[in-house]
Structure 1
């Protein structure tokens, strides 16, 4: 009976996590086909999940502890760095973390079938770190994507400006001709800020704060400085593009030099023992057969 109750609670938490992670995204196939019956059948579950998530989020939003306000600001910055694909608010992400902690604790009870304070702590910590680790992984992937694409975007901007197009028109041209990517998304947000009345400096500074990537911040600082001095942006962008390629090449060399050190552990503990067993195992068996053959 207790297992059934815990299982029902766990699956409720599971559906809540799915609803929170799904955000406002719609499935492409569902948007093309007329599947009203399937939508109606799943509507009660989604409404229940939204009610639970909304209730928890509203309660968390009402809390004004200083440590929670600081954590909320940190989460907001990380969500911006990750591009916030699920369109979560900081309080929504905190709710997701809380649900993850509860779900992991319920998993511990289901598997161990007993209450253990130490196991509670371990699974609770795992539940806390899972959403945060996933968010950090998204930030890392997004930063790598921006670093890979930044030199090419700078080259396109340089060519456009050298052809006589101003900076804003060059950015619009690059956005329209390039495939959708994290960097083009940020450029699109920057252009939206300009259309809303922000200056170029303000919109680019906001983009730098959103992404929080040193390489992009350096490029933006150079553009703002050249703009303040009235210098041409074309040569500045070309220099920044060349510098980015040099830094990327240096990073590749650094990672190549670190590879032997990273391979040392698996070589010593996994590959070398296997080689020793293959080479000396038959000799050892023959030796043991010769020494103990007469005994057995």
Structure 2
């Protein structure tokens, strides 16, 4: 019976197809199981890498780049060009507000501005002469001067934009930081240990807030008093909310009041401010939407409504006025 089934021209292809389907299904199930385990392991490895390896590697790369720029600035100063700014204290505060905490940041900033003054016009001149017909001297002079001014202003605009983004990130992430600090303090941790714990937990979600907390913890461990460390925190953040928070902590420390009560009240206030900012942005949406509505849609609607009347006037009224 089996030999007849095998030798049959109809049954044999069906048998081979069934065997092939069974083997393919079994192999697919086995591969699916291995792929699922590999995907889970990959996700766990990526998560561990994000928590430990990635921040360290980013810090190392940023330090290498920063060290290269610092060495270049030192070489330029050694050649006889002074990169010190006349108002170095204000420039240092501006760069710290943007997240540049290196002591050599003001010199690097001055060097970048100096390089861009000459690099941007030189690039335009090279592109102009690479074409078929070179421009006139007057055009080169005017456009080169404008590009030199642009190169002088670009670093300041970049630093200001980065400072604004950093300030916004700190303001948005600080209420969550206060909630975590409140939980840690109420669970029995001291303020220093709570700030250390929250700073390590918020490395991925809010790196700017985590950096501020970590610097404050390191200053406290180095022997600085709480008042000095908190004042440096307020100065480094350049955010009104954190300055008010540090003032409350200093007063609570002086008066001996409960830190958890202070954190609870201020956390509720910060959450309320964040909700009010969200409502303010929501109320601004109709005004912002009306701008493209008026610019783009209103002329089209007016043209659609007025075009038939214009056509009728051209066809009927103008001939009557001309006596035709």
Larger deviation, residues 104-113 vs 153-162: 104-113
Q: C-alpha separation between the residues in 2 aligned to 1:165 and 1:187?
A: 15
**How far has the Cα of 1:200 moved from its partner?**
1.5
Q: Which residue of 2 aligns with 1:240?
A: 266
In 2, distance between residues paired with 1:213 and 1:198?
22
Deviation, structure 1 residue 237: 0.7
Distance 1:156 1:215 in 2: 17
Structure 1, gaps ≥5 residues long: 1-21, 28-46
Maintained 8 Å contact 1:57/1:95 = no
**Relative to 1, partners in 2 of residues 1:24 and 1:87: Cα closer, same or farther, differing over 3 Å?**
farther
| Residue 169 of structure 1, CA deviation | 1.1
Residue 105 of structure 1, CA deviation:
2.3
- What are structure 2's unaligned runs of at least 5 residues? 1-57, 129-133
Structure 1 position 210, deviation (Å): 1.2
Structure 1 residue aligned with 2:219: 193
- Residue 30 of structure 1: aligned partner: none
State the alpha-carbon separation in 1 of the partners of residues 307 and 103 from structure 2: 58
CA RMSD of aligned residues (A): 3.4
CA distance in 2, matches of 1:278, 1:166: 70
- Which of residues 25, 40, 47 in structure 1 aligns to 2:61? 25
Deviation at 1:228, TM superposition (A): 0.8
User: 1:260 offset after TM fit, Å?
Assistant: 3.9
Match of 1:69, SS? Answer: coil
Task: Name the counterpart of 1:106.
Answer: 122
Give me the TM-score of the superposition, normalised by structure 1: 0.71
2:76 pairs with 33, 40, 56, which one? Answer: 56
Q: Secondary structure at the match of 1:185?
A: helix
Question: What residue number does 1:123 align with?
Answer: 147
Contact 2:117 2:149 in 1 (8 A): yes
Aligned 1:94-243 pairs, distance under 5 A: 94-109=110-125, 110-111=127-128, 113-116=135-138, 117-180=141-204, 181-243=207-269
C-alpha distance in structure 2 between counterparts of 1:215 and 1:26, whole Å: 29
Structure 1 position 127, deviation (Å) = 1.3
Counterpart CA distance in 1 for 2:70 and 2:218 is 30
Match 1:272 to one of 285, 290, 298 = 298
Greater relative contact order structure (CA < 8 Å, 6+ sep): 1
Q: 2: CA distance between counterparts of 1:79 and 1:261?
A: 34
Bigger Rg over Cα: 2
Give 1:75 shift: 2.3
Match of 1:69 among 72, 86, 95: 86
Structure 1 residues 198 and 58: CA distance shift in structure 2, 3 A: farther
> In the superposition, relative to structure 1, how do residues 201 and 23 fare at CA in structure 2: closer, same or farther (>3 Å)?
closer
Residue pair 1:178, 1:184 contacting (<8 A) in 2 also: yes
Contact 1:149 1:183 in 2 (8 A): yes
- Following superposition, the deviation at residue 139 of structure 1 comes to 0.9
The Cα of 1:58 is off from its aligned counterpart by 4.9
Give the stretch that moved more between structures: 74-83 or 99-108: 99-108
Change beyond 3 A, Cα 1:146–1:202:
same
Conserved? CA contact 1:146–1:183, under 8 Å? yes
Q: Describe the shift of the 1:114–1:108 C-alpha distance in structure 2 as closer, same or farther (beyond 3 A).
A: farther
Instruction: Give the TM-score, by structure 2 length.
Output: 0.66
Measure, in 1, the Cα distance between the counterparts of 2:212 and 2:249.
Answer: 16
